[in-house]
Amino acid sequence: MRLRIQLTGWDRRTLTLTDTPRPDCPLCDGHGGRGYDYGDHEGEYAGTEWDPCSCWDETRRRNLLRLPRIPRRRRGDRDPWSNEPPF
Ligand SMILES: [Zn+2]
């Protein structure tokens, strides 16, 4: 089990600690699973199924920190991330 820090969520940005696939896994070669294409009843390509490998658990994640939303910049406001000194 290797842990990785990841940002999740579009609106609420949350820092999470997630499990990652074993890089030397003999089953998935470190990819974390296997994808295989499947077809519909006429044999046409219909999508790709993703089969996660057992060497990791993508549901094993822990929220570390919920990041504050960056407020939308209003006209006339100073850029809050600017390093310029105030004049
Ligand atoms: Zn694996």
pLDDT tens digits, 48-79: 888 889 999 878 878 888 878 777 776 666 66
Domain count for the chain, please give it: 1
Give 50 Cα–ligand 1 centroid separation in angstroms. 13
* Domain presence at residue 72: no
Residue 79 lies in a domain: no
Give me the pLDDT at residue 28, please: 92
Range of the domain at 28: 2-66
Cβ < 5 A residues, ion ligand 1: 25, 27-28, 53, 55
Are 73 and 53 in contact by the 8 Å Cβ rule? The answer is: no
If you measure from the C-alpha of residue 84 to the centroid of ligand 1, how many angstroms do you get, rounded to a whole number?
Answer: 48
Residue 82 lies in a domain: no
User: Has residue 74 been placed in a domain?
Assistant: no
Give 11 Cα–ligand 1 centroid separation in angstroms. 31
Long-range contacts of 35-43 (CB under 8 A, 24+ apart): none
Tell me the pLDDT tens digit for each residue of 7-32. 666 666 788 888 889 999 999 999 99
Query: Domain for residue 78, yes or no?
Result: no
